[in-house]
Amino acid sequence: MKTLLRLLLKTQHQRNRSGPEQTEKGMTLVELLVGAIMAFLIITPMLGFVVDMLNTDRREQVKSNTEQDLQAAVDFIAQDLSQAIYIYDNIDINGGTRGSVTVTGIKSQLPAATDATKIPILVFWKRQQIKTSVPINSGTIPKNCDATKCNDTYVLSLVAYYQFKDNDPTWCQPSGGNCPTRIARYEIRDGVRKPDPVAGDTNLPYYNKADTDEDTQQPDPAFNKDFDFTKPTQNVTLTGGLTNATSGATKPEVLVNYIDHGSGSILTPCTTALGNPTDPKTSTAIGEGTLKVTDTEGRNSFYACVDTARNIARVTLRGNSLRRLEPSNVLSSANNSAYFPTATVQVQGFGAVGK
């Protein structure tokens, strides 16, 4: 009985302490509307700020990529030029008058001679190393060479760097008008010549084709074995070889893309950059028209300054990083010049025939 009474009193005490019954209440439509407006006013500027940061970061990234590509390109060209034996200047390539002598340029003897969208800028002869290609004894053929049976050798190689300005969709991304230009490299190389020819050889002065590797030890179909450095603009190539579908000369290697398509000023005149060179035969100053090799439309996104007598070349490239983002060719201006990086290199060729 006492236990039951105690339980009743305890229940009544807890009921008295519980207070009035609570009811739940939600937000009104006006409160929701006010909250949505406040959220919009706060989030919209923040979203715009974030988008702007992302766009800026993307532009800086493509700018950095373009700078790296240009630097890698001029480093490659510098290494290539360091072995140059003879570098062609503007008159050598495009023709003109040197003193009182009219020079027929070599452009018609180079790859893609009739294609106006492919312009030769830097052309030179160099010595190219061919590893393990000359047998130590006549019992070995070049195709079976290894380091124990054969020695290295050097062959002549004609190298030409071109500015391509076509609309190949492969290199025009994002797709659109005014595709960026690119730089491509052609190489026409001599083959391994046989040091001990005999009357039965059918491929003189080279090894027989069946005994050699076609890609590395045979001459390019466009190579002219009658070329003579005393007459550098004659017998430069074999025209028939230039149209051969299997010829290395018809297979250019792209060095760098997204080169500026617009016109722009040069960094330094060639006469100044090369130290105001003079003709060693006449002691007269060599003019800009002889030293500077560029395209016929006056664009200066890829040009070379060449002093043939001293075997020196200065090469300049200007990229367009904005073309990586936009389908149209944006022109350089004072406001966006940082997105048109420039790289330049000056090299003296130390190659020589027989060295």
Q: Which of the two residues, 13 and 310, has the higher pLDDT score?
A: 310
| Confidence (pLDDT) at 4 | 47
Binned at pLDDT 50, 70 and 90, residue 138 comes out as: confident
Average of pLDDT values for 220-228? 92
Starting at the edge strand found earlier in the chain, the sheet holding 342-348 runs 292-293, 302-307, 312-318, 342-348
Instruction: Let me know if 120 is exposed, middle or buried by CB neighbors in 10 A (0-12, 13-18, 19+).
Output: buried
Q: What is the mean pLDDT of residues 105-115?
A: 92
Strands (DSSP E) contained in the chain are 84-87, 96-98, 101-103, 118-135, 150-164, 181-189, 253-259, 292-293, 302-307, 312-318, 342-348
**Residue 259: is it exposed, middle or buried by C-beta count within 10 angstroms (0-12/13-18/19+)?**
buried
| Residue 12 to residue 5: CA distance in whole angstroms | 11
Query: Mean pLDDT, to the nearest integer, of 304-323?
Result: 94
Q: Using CA atoms, how far apart are residues 355 and 348, in angstroms rounded to an integer? A: 16
Q: Which of 152, 107, 160 is nearest to 128 (CA)?
A: 152
CA distance 95 to 98: 9
pLDDT band at 337 (very low <50, low <70, confident <90, very high): confident
Please report the pLDDT score of residue 2 as a whole number. Answer: 53
Rounded to an integer, what distance in angstroms lies between the CA atom of residue 253 and that of residue 234? 25
| 306, pLDDT greater than 80 | yes
Number of other CB atoms surrounding residue 104 within 10 Å:
14
Give the separation between CA 165 and CA 177, rounded to whole angstroms.
12
Question: Under a CB-based contact definition with an 8 Å cutoff, are residues 166 and 117 in contact?
Answer: yes
pLDDT of residue 16: 53
Distance between CA atoms of residues 159 and 185, nearest Å: 7
* Predicted local confidence at residue 204, as pLDDT: 83
Token couple for 190: 């001599």
Question: CB neighbours (10 Å) of residue 20?
Answer: 5
For 228-256, the pLDDT digits (tens) are 999 999 999 998 778 654 445 568 999 99
State the CB neighbour count (10 A cutoff) for residue 201: 14
Q: Tell me: pLDDT of 319 over 80.
A: yes
Answer yes or no: is pLDDT of 77 > 80: yes
What CA–CA distances, in Å, run from 46 to 41, 52, 89, 333?
9, 10, 57, 30
Task: State both tokens at 261.
Answer: 């398509």
**How far apart, in whole angstroms, are the C-alpha atoms of residue 53 and residue 64?**
16
Phi, psi of 42 (to 5 degrees): -90, -45
Share of the chain above pLDDT 70, in %: 87
pLDDT band of residue 302 (cuts 50, 70, 90) is very high
CA distance 175 to 351: 42
Query: Is it the case that residue 5 has pLDDT exceeding 70?
Result: no
pLDDT at 262 exceeding the cut of 80: no
Question: Averaged over 19-30, what is the pLDDT?
Answer: 62
Residues 191, 241: Cα–Cα separation, whole Å: 14
User: For the chain, what is the mean pLDDT?
Assistant: 85
**Number of helices and strands (H, E) in the chain?**
6, 11
Lowest mean pLDDT: which of 172-186, 296-310, 321-335? 321-335
Residue type at 236? V
Q: Which of 62, 353, 59 minimizes the C-alpha distance to 227?
A: 353
Question: Contact at 8 Å (CB) between 305 and 294?
Answer: no
pLDDT surpassing 90 at residue 317: yes
* Nearest alpha carbon to residue 348 among 87, 92, 128, 156: 87
Please compute the mean of the pLDDT values over residues 204-208 and round it to a whole number: 87
DSSP 55-115: HHHHHHHHHHHHHHHHHHHHHHHHHHHTTEEEE--HHHHH-EEETTEEE--SGGGSTTTT-
E-only strand ranges, 202-262: 253-259
> By the 8 A CB rule, do 253 and 185 touch?
yes
Output the pLDDT for position 345: 96
